[in-house]
Chain A
Amino acid sequence: DAGVIQSPRHEVTEMGQEVTLRCKPISGHNSLFWYRQTMMRGLELLIYFNNNVPIDDSGMPEDRFSAKMPNASFSTLKIQPSEPRDSAVYFCASNNGGVSYNEQFFGPGTRLTVL
């Protein structure tokens, strides 16, 4: 099992540019989570999908952030336009328990730097 796959692993972009982060969850998992990790705020849940449907996007910081899950094996998190304060590590995770205490399986993360 390849685990959760995220791409790119590192992204450096300039302020105002569009950024797209990609995630492939573990096959068979029905829930997918996007997190952002910063030193000050730790791990924050941005959005959660269940069976490809967005269930809770209350953690999405602004309208500049959007996420899609067109099928069970692929999700994207887009930031447009990007700003320096968006610099963080973005994690994707998946599981079969949805938003619960069931174990979540995390990808390696995408380190985003916005200059």
Chain B
Amino acid sequence: DQQVKQNSPSLSVQEGRISILNCDYTNSMFDYFLWYKKYPAEGPTFLISISSIKDKNEDGRFTVFLNKSAKHLSLHIVPSQPGDSAVYFCAAWDGNNRKLIWGLGTSLAVNP
């Protein structure tokens, strides 16, 4: 029973366009959310995070939006580049149980 759901296993986008990766969660008590990026044959690397007290965090081409009422967050990449092609994991921090809960990932392909 996934508490953090990334419902799109894959996404394909043209270079220069916006990539939007979505993540839904079930526990309203999650208080911090993170995105990690993973290239083949490498471990995940931290990309960007957001606290539950905020609704937006931006870092260069990457912006994460949080909609607490909908229990939904999204990662926007603008403009998308071929080097962004990777698997993106959404993770949520459950402070009560002291666990980081991971989604299954979304594979993004940015086509030249």
The residue that B103 contacts in the complex, of A42, A93, A108, with Cβ under 8 A, is: A42
Per the bound structure, the CA–CA distance linking A4 and B43 in Å amounts to: 9
Chain B nearest CB from A100 CB (Å) reads: 7
Instruction: Tell me which residues from 64 to 112 in chain B have a Cβ below 8 Å from any Cβ of chain A.
Output: 89, 93, 98-100, 102-105
Is B34 touching A108 in the complex (CB atoms < 8 A)? no
Smallest CB gap from A111: residue in B: B41
Instruction: Report A-chain residues with C-beta under 8 Å of the C-beta of B42.
Output: 106, 108-109
User: Known contacts A43-B102, A45-B100; is A100 also within 8 Å of B93 by CB?
Assistant: yes
Q: Is B45 an interface residue (CB 8 A)?
A: yes
Q: Is the interface of B mostly helix, strand, loop or mixed?
A: strand
Number of B interface residues at 8 Å Cβ cutoff, please give it.
Answer: 18
> What is the 8 Å Cβ interface bit string for chain B, positions 39-53, against chain A (1 contact, 0 not)?
001111110010000
Whether B93 and A104, one on each chain, are in contact in the complex, defined by CB atoms closer than 8 angstroms, is no
Kindly report which residue of chain B lies nearest to residue A10, judged by CB atoms: B41
Q: What is the CA–CA distance of A109 and B41 in the complex, to the nearest angstrom?
A: 7
* Contact partners of B105 in chain A: CB under 8 A: 42
Q: Point out residues on A near B: beta carbons under 8 Å.
A: 4, 41-45, 56, 91, 93, 99-101, 103-109
